[in-house]
Structure 1
Amino acid sequence: MTRWLTGARDDPAERAHRVVPAALRAAYAWTVRHEHHDAMREVARMTGVVMEAHGPGHGPTTPIGLISCLRRRLGLLPALAGGRNTEISQVVLLGSDDRLTPDAYDLACEYALPVHGAPDAPQWMPTWTWMHADQIRRHTFKTLMDGRDQERYVASRRFLVENPAGLRSELGELIAESGVRPPPRGYTAIPSGHVHRSPDGRSWWWPCAVCHWPMAVAGTTVRCRHRPHSAVYRLTEATTAASRPSLSRIDEGRPRLARPVARPTADSLCVDSGIWRSVVVPGVSELRVKRSLEELGATVELWPRLDRYDLHVRAADEEFTVDLKEYHSAHRLIADLRSRPPEVRILLPKTHEHQLETLRTALPSLRVTTETKFCTEVRRALRTV
């Protein structure tokens, strides 16, 4: 597990650990400065953190100066210059339109941490900007684990993965019927950056065809924030007052996906963006792998022993235990595996199989496989029956 930041140190790595999460918080606050009156105060706070990490005479010294730096590669900040982590040094947090870049969501958020010396993050800041994934999951699962009932835990966690967004009334009915326990404040209004407002005043959102969480809307481009869910769409306004805006796919990606249908924003809710990124996104892959293995004839148990690991697979006389890891940053994954060695084999989903050799090189003793290799292994075990 990534360590909490505990104060100023002269170690360059520790300075970098303070700068990255502070830069991410400042970048997010800048994007919502017209919506939240104290957003600029948050930018100023994070400027102070960055100044302290750099020391006198180094790095940005004003909030506007920090924002200017965030429109360039993070590696140009003195605290990150010359570092070995080339992934994070190449990240640009703010695009030319002053929106967060895809890398901010996909990569920088994996470095989010509490910032020592700064006040707790304001309520309007999403959890992924100031808590790392393990913290978000623990916070979310604390309610799900109430009573330490394995069956109830799996049902509640699966409910979040399969129902990350929807109408308030529909979600309420599903919760009542299933008896699951969603986490406190688990569902919130659809984020403004994921809403399209038509000229007639109506507003809409579209669920990702893979994870079903609201896709981001940037002008006429609509896509999921999680880039492995890679479909990209162009938005076309409704032609009549009774119709809805529609999407047409403009990328050449695979696989073929059902075209999302616009849903009214009024009375719609979705899970917090941190829960989506840390629970829903990997959960979608875990459920997909489970279905694939069951189609082969295996028996699969989800999140055994209250999430001691992800999948327990029985194939004929053989049993397999794996923990799925879906990190955008191989560097961040390696650091986390070093600080908390896994008890079971690591499984890389199809979208992240390219990380296999990097992990094996950095961690030669690590037991790691890919989804493709693992499915072949289970299929071979079933054939021996």
Structure 2
Amino acid sequence: MKERDARVWRDQALTACCMAAAAEGDPLLSSARRAAVLMDCLAVLRAAHRPDRAAQIGMGEFRHGLRGPLGALLPPVPGTADRRFDALHLFDKHGLVRDAVQDLCREHLVPHVALERHWPWARVRAEQEERRLYEILRRLPPEDYRRARALLAEYPAGPVRQLSRAWDQLWMRFDFFEAVSDWPWCHLDGWWYPCPICHWPMRVAQHAATIDVRCEAHAARGVHYRRTSGPAGLGPPELVGTGKKATPVRGLPASTEHLALTRPVWRYGALPTLLELDLRDQVQDLPHVTVEMYPGELRPDEYDLHITVAVPGRRTQRFRVDAKAWESVDALADALLERQPPPYPLTILLPDHQDHERHYLAARLRGRRITVTTLNRLVKRIKTACGVSR
């Protein structure tokens, strides 16, 4: 068995598990439809295993396995010690489907006709929307390109009048917004709450008598809240912060007049841009440092920042930085390996909460002149390079 084929089968199994978990955790799905989805997902999972192991996986074991570490369900990859997803849990401690399941589904997607019948393809085949976004961006003049990238991060959601005013002439060129009213997962008594960091709708999760509101991308940094127990009023329910980054937020009407970027564009367009802007803001005023945003031919699939540290009497250091906000660094590694190796040293920038995964990604990309780091680590490295101790 070739290792690449085994990885494809493992991705297929992971996709099936993610889809099955989403069906299990969807309260709006009828029992008959849920059963049909689970049967198809089980068939896909079995097909990814050796015949002897496939015969042992029944529906009971499948549903039980979805609630625990996935190692019991996923096929191994011969010739490698990689067991990255063996400890992965698709449900949180309250029994709710983890926010990242949709992103894992997209990033490890292996198309399958049986799944296509039961899963809205637009929710899964997000790569097409991401590519369409970049094709539109590439056709823009340089200044409009830079402005559009910044707007993705600064105005990813809000009242339609505010968005159209901010995007101005670019507004009619982008159709990547959807009505928040169509997203019940972010509604709380008819209101939605923007994350104080990325400004995208936060997810509302209820378990027992408690209602939590959290940002899917920034919960790890402390952006999570809880609804107060006070009586319901005419305005939006009040939230109390339960994390260190939970600054006060106010609810907005979950109406057709409030729009938000589609999830793939937010995940793979807005979040990396936020990371890039954060890096720029932290280093651009340092001595001997020059930061160029979206340099060269403005190819989004190459790199986004060119940082130069030119200290007199020392060797000039250059950092070509490509920010990534994938949920799965395993899928990210596969995507990067499909590219031609860069003709220059490249730095892949991850969010700080993925610091523990940088060594794995670096090992997968060994021999490609690629360094993998996180925001805090890169800022410290640049400060050291220009002689700033803090």
TM-score of the alignment, normalized to the shorter chain, above 0.5: yes
1:296 aligns with 2:286: yes
* Matched residue, 1:280: 270
* Matched residue, 2:320: 321
* One-letter amino acid of the structure 1 residue matched with residue 322 of structure 2: D
* One-letter amino acid of the structure 2 residue matched with residue 142 of structure 1: E
Residue 142 of structure 2: which of 145, 150, 162 is its match? 150
1:309 aligns with 2:303: yes
Structure 2: unaligned runs, 5 residues or longer: none
* Matched residue, 2:47: 52
* Matched residue, 2:164: 172
Residue 28 of structure 2: which of 34, 46, 69 is its match? 34
1:204 aligns with 2:173: no
* One-letter amino acid of the structure 2 residue matched with residue 144 of structure 1: L
* Matched residue, 2:87: 90
Deviations 1:67-104 (A, max 9, x none): 44322221111525998443312122235765312453
Residue 255 of structure 2: which of 266, 269, 274 is its match? 266
Shift in Å, 1:383: 6.4
1:346 aligns with 2:351: no
Compared with structure 1, are the counterparts of its residues 362 and 172 closer, same or farther at alpha carbon in structure 2 (3 Å cutoff)?
closer
CA contact (8 A) 1:164 1:213 kept: yes
CA contact (8 A) 2:3 2:77 kept: no
CA contact (8 A) 1:85 1:331 kept: no
> TM (normalized to structure 2)?
0.77
Q: Taking every aligned residue pair, what percent have the same amino acid on both sides?
A: 24
Once the two structures are superposed, the pairs formed by residues 3-14 of structure 1 within 5 Å of their partners are: 11-14=5-8
1:217 aligns with 2:204: yes
Shift in Å, 1:182: 5.3
* Structure 1 vs Structure 2 CA RMSD: 3.6
Which portions of structure 1, spanning 4 or more consecutive aligned residues, are displaced by more than 6 angstroms? none
* One-letter amino acid of the structure 2 residue matched with residue 213 of structure 1: W
Residue 371 of structure 1: which of 375, 381, 388 is its match? 375
Compared with structure 1, are the counterparts of its residues 172 and 41 closer, same or farther at alpha carbon in structure 2 (3 Å cutoff)?
farther
Deviations 1:11-43 (A, max 9, x none): 543321211112212222333352589565444
Shift in Å, 1:110: 6.4
* One-letter amino acid of the structure 2 residue matched with residue 99 of structure 1: L
* Matched residue, 2:130: 137
CA contact (8 A) 1:194 1:215 kept: yes
Once the two structures are superposed, the pairs formed by residues 212-251 of structure 1 within 5 Å of their partners are: 212-219=199-206, 220-226=211-217, 227-236=219-228, 239=231, 241-251=233-243
* Matched residue, 2:66: 70
SS in 1 for 2:247: coil
CA contact (8 A) 2:22 2:101 kept: no
The whole-number CA distance in structure 1 between the counterparts of 2:335 and 2:365 is 12
